[in-house]
Amino acid sequence: MQPRLIMKLEVASVREDRGNVRVITFRHPLRPSLPPFTAGAHVDVHLPDGRRRQYSLCGDPADASAYRIAVKLERGGRGGSAWIHDGLVVGAKIPVSAPRNHFVMDEATPRGLLIAAGIGITPILSMAHHLNGTKRPYVLHYFARSRSVAPLLEEIAATIGPRQVQYHFSDEADTQIDLRSLLDEREGDTQLYCCGPRRFMEGVREAAQAWPENTLHFEAFQPLVDEGFTPQPFEIEIPSKGLTLRVPADKSALDVLRDNGILMASSCEIGTCGSCQCGYSKGEPIHRDVVLSPQARKTHFIPCVSRATGTLLLDL
């Protein structure tokens, strides 16, 4: 995997929004434009302690003058959002990676059904901008607990015509909708794009069972939680290096690769960003990421979280 460009970008503006969300705009301190991004892309924000956090870009991909992210404060989280809420000020210069996209739109298909819940609106909003720019029809269904905690409502209203968006608030009975009835029938060649909490997306996937797999696109920002899973040791073989390595139950394949001098890109290390993905050619992986599509899982593996039974041959 190519190393990513890391730029020191200036915090051009900070805006507080509903639902404990901060909307941050980054610009290059010297140049008028930034590396381009496609709808659904994210950037890595580098924290002062060296850790990185991924945030979806919610601005218009046609506007290369700025990157905009919206970050929900998670006090019990891993520290990234707390730093962004407590420590980030206008004028600060922050290392930010060039955008990467694991939530790519199907450009061959005209019609889009966009479904977002809460802060999951961020990549979906960039998709709405893109569909506007390419004059393709779409509808957004935006779900939130309440209007009072739903982020980016102003941006949605400024971007999407009132007939193209439907709001569903848990505390407003007349706005609620049954996912099954919404997804019962697929209109023409519609592609579905969904981002939100894991449980919400599981509900959408279940309701869209009749849709072909290649029409469903999900973006997860929470790791897989499966308390019943007990990691077992397995082996990885790297034919290009003549190595066979044992992955003990208490280590990840990524750790073992690094311990053996194999440099691997990584970022989230919880299976949500896709930075560490590599190919495999033989074996039985146990996929534990939330980023690879069913198709990609046939050939790719996420070594920071996924495991295998027996021996897995990695293409490195």
- Binding-site ranges for ligand FES (CB under 6 A): 266-269, 271-276, 289, 291, 302, 304
For tokens 């941050």, what's the residue?
A: 24
Q: Reduced to 3 states, what is the DSSP secondary structure of residue 81?
A: helix
Q: Which helix (H) or strand (E) holds 56?
A: strand 52-56
Inter-residue contact 81 to 71 (CB < 8 Å): yes
Amino acid symbol at 260: N
Inter-residue contact 17 to 7 (CB < 8 Å): no
- 219 vs 289, beta carbon nearer ligand FES: 289
Inter-residue contact 68 to 23 (CB < 8 Å): yes
- 117 vs 268, beta carbon nearer ligand FES: 268
- 160 vs 290, beta carbon nearer ligand FES: 290
Q: How far is the CB of 258 from ligand FES (least distance, A)?
A: 12
- 44 vs 155, beta carbon nearer ligand FES: 44
Residues in CB range of 178: below 8 A, 6 or more apart: none
Q: Reduced to 3 states, what is the DSSP secondary structure of residue 123?
A: helix
Planar angle of CA 7, 18, 273, nearest 5 degrees: 40
Alpha-carbon distances, residue 18 vs 14, 21, 175, 284 (angstroms):
13, 6, 19, 45
- 1 vs 157, beta carbon nearer ligand FES: 1
Residue 227, token pair as written in the block: 């308390």
Q: How far is the CB of 296 from ligand FES (least distance, A)?
A: 12
- 137 vs 294, beta carbon nearer ligand FES: 294
d(CA 43, CA 69): 9
Residues in CB range of 15: below 8 A, 6 or more apart: 22, 23
Residue 166, token pair as written in the block: 């439907």
- 182 vs 265, beta carbon nearer ligand FES: 265
Short-list 1, 175, 156, CA closest to 70:
156
- 17 vs 269, beta carbon nearer ligand FES: 269
Q: How far is the CB of 73 from ligand FES (least distance, A)?
A: 22
Residues in CB range of 202: below 8 A, 6 or more apart: none
Q: How far is the CB of 43 from ligand FES (least distance, A)?
A: 14
For tokens 């690094």, what's the residue?
A: 258
Q: How far is the CB of 304 from ligand FES (least distance, A)?
A: 3
Q: How far is the CB of 303 from ligand FES (least distance, A)?
A: 7
Q: How far is the CB of 273 from ligand FES (least distance, A)?
A: 3
Q: How far is the CB of 277 from ligand FES (least distance, A)?
A: 7
